[in-house]
Amino acid sequence: MIMQQSLLYHGGGETVIFPEIRKTKYTKDFSWGFYCTKSYEQAYRWAKRKYQEGIVNVYSYTEDNTLKILKFEKMTEEWLDFIGKCRGGYIHGYDIVEGPMADDTIWNFVTDFLEGNISRKVFWDYAEFKRPTHQISFHSMRALACLAYERSEQANG
């Protein structure tokens, strides 16, 4: 069994050598977890937009096929239902979840759908021309063990 290794990025306001899963006031697309992306540009934009002293943390990621992993290759009905449940407080049993990120525009469409303001069909009509970004979230200690800290870079330099 060959373990695939890649780089992942976490944009934030501090250096994170030892990632943690933190329960916060609001749940995210895939529930509480430690979120990264395979897009350096996305992590850089997030760090710069959200923090005065933004930091991009870089990790090497080695996938562990013994973990319970859910992957969404693109926005699908299953993806929409899953993030709707997670944003509503649903706690799933996955170690790692990977897939498209509902950015602010797409999330507004998701909210409208969940509140019954638009139909599922209208959601997909609106979302069709939006380019989702990537996220991978880690939800267990075993999942976090797949990450190895490499370095941190200033995003507002």
Of 29, 8, 43, the residue nearest 99 (C-alpha)? 29
Rounded CA separation 115/117 (Å)? 6
User: Is residue 11 classed as helix, strand or coil in its secondary structure?
Assistant: strand
The residues near 117 (Cβ < 8 Å, ≥ 6 apart) are: none
> Token pair for residue 134?
């990537």
Rounded CA separation 24/87 (Å)? 12
- What pLDDT was estimated at residue 95? 98
- What pLDDT was estimated at residue 2? 46
Is the pLDDT score of 1 beyond 70? no
DSSP state of 22: -
Domain-by-domain residue ranges, the chain?
A: 5-154
* pTM recorded for the entire structure: 0.87
Rounded CA separation 132/11 (Å)? 17
Assign 144 a pLDDT band (cuts: 50, 70, 90): very high
Q: List C-alpha distances in Å: 126 to 36, 82, 113, 114, 123.
A: 26, 19, 11, 14, 5
Of 17, 1, 21, the residue nearest 141 (C-alpha)? 21
Is the pLDDT score of 7 beyond 70? yes
